[in-house]
Structure 1
Amino acid sequence: MDGTSGHNRQSCWIVTDGSAGMENQCIGLAEALDLDFTVKRIVTTRPWRWLPPQLWLNPLHRLDASGDLLTPPWPDVLITCGRQAIPMSLAIKKANGEKTVTIHIQTPNCKASEFDIVIVPEHDRLRGPNVLVSLGSLGRVTPERLQVEGEKFADAVADLPRPLVAVLVGGSNRCYDMNADVIRDLAARLKSLHEEAGCSFLVTTSRRTGAENEAILEAYLAGLPHQLWTGDGANPYFGYLALADALIVTADSVNMVCEACTLGKPVHIFELPGGNRKFNYFHKSMQDKGYTRPFRGKLETWSYPPLQETRRIAAEVADIIAARTRGG
């Protein structure tokens, strides 16, 4: 994936292991900075992938050919996310004589001073002179994208009764368990919500949802006004965000919650078994600031200023890069 080419735009590489959540944060930042970016999805080799970055020897030679290789010419700006990309960032910085501006998203497993800029969510504890703190994660939702995507999918949902409720479904991860019983509970609550409010559902699943959970959702939604996207055809995710009157988001994804909150619409969180200190802090912070409320089986109405963290962080990053450029 490449950014749109243009004159006098700085070149940028986005380097991750291909995880959607990591990659989307990097792309969101690159788009907000108007960089001419190229996405690089790397596959690291054993045993190096298990070692801390300071123990890697010749990191750029520890990439498997099944992924992207990293060779000159080096980019003006390098945005990385995830531990596998950290040794690559350090190596490229050195190979390019410190000329590449290195930006890492999420807390690294090395000193933050190894990068020019580190961006962490508020619920991470890392702080420092080159550390920028965002409320939650970065993303790709912009008013312009929502308008385009909303227009693209408007006809497809025109016959569905209002209110339209977007349901963003994630899946199990290291902190949360979304098993069949949990998805049945969610699906049953959606059915009851329709019976009470007469609403329609715009449902999207993720890579982590799993075929069994998707089948359960499909069975429960049968006979209800809805659309269910599980990966086939054009992705309506941004269109659903734009067209929804309210949203229900599973608690396992900081990215989905933050993207939903860029709209200024009611965002209800469907709580899951599990959690940890970081997730608990994040969800409490979002509720305390008025962005989200727990989903209790009813649609609630409230408003708040849309969350625009990607735009805010990008402005800070742009100032740092500009100051660095002026300083030579």
Structure 2
Amino acid sequence: MTSNPNKAKPLVWVVDSTYTGELHARIGLAERLGYGYQLIPLPEAPSRTYGRHLQQRYRHETQGNTATPLLIISGTGEETTAAIADLRPLFAGQLVTIYLASILPDEHHPRLAEYDLIASPQLAGDNIVTLIGVPHQLSQDNLRLARQQHAAYFNTLPRPLIALLVGGNTRYCDGFTEDHAQRLATRVAAISKTLGGSLIITNSRRTPAPALNALLAGLDGIPYQAFDWQHLADNFYHALLAHADLFVVTGDSLSMCSEAAFTGKPLLVDLSNTATECYHRQIVGGLISYGAAKLLGDTFEPWHYTPPDPTGAVVSVIQRRFLLEESDVD
């Protein structure tokens, strides 16, 4: 599908994922497209059965209007590349497959090239949107809403407000140890002592408890408030992003780095070789080259940059290539 001559409202399906960052990226793209979306299950059944189920669902939801464009958003996480590519013959030229790639291995799936659009910070070429950072669920609207929702708390804090966003171990790197956490604490403490203000810390589901305890112990004497990800109030994380003046983020989380960069605030990244994968260093390196981030050291000097918007970049290409008439594009 290369255009939408009838200007029909597309049906948008998001392939579910157990990987939080991957799912939030897909949902964030669907939300920014503005047509609504529905989650569809992972293709665990045989490919033919899965395809028939989705074909029946499409007919039901479009009330038989087979001219309705169908966008399916999938990507890295669970391996679904072939199963989603297999759907193309079932949808009479109306299917647009969107693949959001946070981290791609050196050897790509042989059927990845069959997708209509690939969004990746690692690739360039035809049918590829080369990104700065990775897509996420943030938008200016939900940042404004979260800022207002939690203003009563954040407006009482001394400035500047330093937000420490802590990730942890990944599938292929378990270097977020107690020793690493102590070294991170030393650098954060040095910056916090120099700047004063407030230090707010939040972790993720990947943060090892012993490492988090070591990090907090290393901040002894530094006033801080720590919030566990399991007990955050509604929209509190987004409010922290909206109110913070400076971010310190561990480089194992591409989502948190990209979300922080989206705010346009200074971003310092802990990019230790022992606590990140080479792909993290490559992709965060793109944020550094762009000017949105700098490596974490013991000091901080402010700077300014135009915030990258990887999700918006994908939305623009989808609208231009697949959802507008050619006359609209011209």
2-side partners of 1:228 and 1:308: how far apart? 27
1-side partners of 2:226 and 2:205: how far apart? 18
Q: What's the % identity of the aligned pairs?
A: 24
**2:71 aligned to 49, 67, 77, which one?**
77
Task: Report the counterpart of residue 137 of structure 1 in structure 2.
Answer: 134
2-side partners of 1:325 and 1:102: how far apart? 20
* Structure 2 counterpart SS, 1:139: coil
Task: Report the counterpart of residue 103 of structure 1 in structure 2.
Answer: 98
Cα 1:43–1:113 shift into 2, 3 Å: closer
> Deviation at 1:246?
0.6
1:257 aligns with 2:257: yes
Cα 1:151–1:222 shift into 2, 3 Å: farther
What does residue range 188-227 of structure 1 map to in structure 2 within 5 Å? 188-220=186-218, 224-227=223-226
The C-alpha deviation readout for 1:268-324, integer Å capped at 9, x for no partner, is 111223345433333333222221111112232000111122212211111111257
Cα 1:324–1:129 shift into 2, 3 Å: farther
Task: Report the counterpart of residue 184 of structure 2 in structure 1.
Answer: 186
Cα 1:177–1:325 shift into 2, 3 Å: farther
Q: Which amino acid aligns with 2:182?
A: R
2-side partners of 1:113 and 1:191: how far apart? 47
* Structure 2 counterpart SS, 1:13: strand
Task: Report the counterpart of residue 280 of structure 1 in structure 2.
Answer: 281
Cα 1:233–1:71 shift into 2, 3 Å: farther
Cα 1:297–1:80 shift into 2, 3 Å: same
The C-alpha deviation readout for 1:70-129, integer Å capped at 9, x for no partner, is 5731382100012522233123333333422111112551334422212121x24xx442
> Deviation at 1:267?
0.4
**1:163 aligned to 160, 163, 166, which one?**
160
Q: Which amino acid aligns with 1:58?
A: R
What does residue range 13-92 of structure 1 map to in structure 2 within 5 Å? 13-42=13-42, 44=44, 58=48, 60=50, 72-74=56-58, 76-82=70-76, 83-92=78-87
Cα 1:19–1:276 shift into 2, 3 Å: closer
Name the TM-score, length of structure 2 as normaliser: 0.80
Q: Is the 8 A contact 2:287 2:293 kept in 1?
A: yes
* Structure 1 counterpart SS, 2:74: strand
Moved more, 177-186 or 240-249: 177-186
Ranges in structure 2 where 5+ consecutive residues have no aligned partner = 1-7, 59-68
1-side partners of 2:91 and 2:36: how far apart? 18
Cα 1:204–1:264 shift into 2, 3 Å: same
1:147 aligns with 2:148: no
Cα 1:187–1:101 shift into 2, 3 Å: same
The C-alpha deviation readout for 1:36-80, integer Å capped at 9, x for no partner, is 1123353737xxxxxxxxxx753728xxxxxxx857313821000
2-side partners of 1:89 and 1:222: how far apart? 51
Name the TM-score, length of structure 1 as normaliser: 0.81
Moved more, 291-300 or 99-108: 99-108
Moved more, 280-289 or 142-151: 280-289
Q: Which amino acid aligns with 2:127?
A: N
Let me know the Cα RMSD of the aligned residues.
Answer: 2.9
Q: Is the 8 A contact 2:16 2:41 kept in 1?
A: yes
